[in-house]
Amino acid sequence: EAGVAQSPRYKIIEKRQSVAFWCNPISGHATLYWYQQILGQGPKLLIQFQNNGVVDDSQLPKDRFSAERLKGVDSTLKIQPAKLEDSAVYLCASSLRGPNQPQHFGDGTRLSIL
């Protein structure tokens, strides 16, 4: 079984620029998660999708972050404009059916804001 794929692995941008991350979950997994992980901390959930619907986005800074999961498969997370405090690793995860089952994580995108 192929794992969760994320790209790019690394991204360096200047503040106020925009950036997008892509995630391809494990085939057949209905639930997809985007997390932000700041160095030395645990992952913080940004948004959770069930198929192509949003389950929770209460911790997504909606003035600058957006995410979509068209057709209930791949997902993109966008930041526009980026701030210095957005420097972090952005992790995508998927699970078969909801958070009461194990999550499978990609290796993340490490974002550095200059």
Partner 1 sequence: SQQGEEDPQALSIQEGENATMNCSYKTSINNLQWYRQNSGRGLVHLILIRSNEREKHSGRLRVTLDTSKKSSSLLITASRAADTASYFCAMISGGSYIPTFGRGTSLIVHP
Report the interface residues with partner 1, using CB under 8 A.
Answer: 4, 33, 35, 40-45, 48, 55-56, 58, 91, 93, 98-108
Q: Which is nearer to partner 1, 27 or 71 (CB)?
A: 27
In whole angstroms, how close is the CB of 106 to partner 1 at the nearest point? 5
Q: Per this entry, what is the length of the chain?
A: 114
In the complex with partner 1, the residue whose CB is nearer, 19 or 91, is 91
Give the nearest distance from C-beta 8 to partner 1 in angstroms: 14
Which of residues 19 and 103 has its CB atom nearest to partner 1 in the complex?
Answer: 103
Shorter beta-carbon distance to partner 1: residue 14 or 107: 107
3-state secondary structure 8-75: CCEEEECCCCCEEEEEECCCCCCEEEEEEECCCCCCEEEEEEECCEEEECCCCCCCCEEEECHHHCCE
Provide the minimum distance between the beta carbon of 102 and partner 1 in the complex, in angstroms, as a whole number.
4
Q: Write down the least CB distance from residue 63 to partner 1, Å.
A: 21
State how far the Cα of 87 lies from the Cα of 17, in Å rounded to an integer.
Answer: 13
Distance CA 46, CA 66 (A): 10
Contact yes or no for 18/82 (Cβ under 8 A): yes
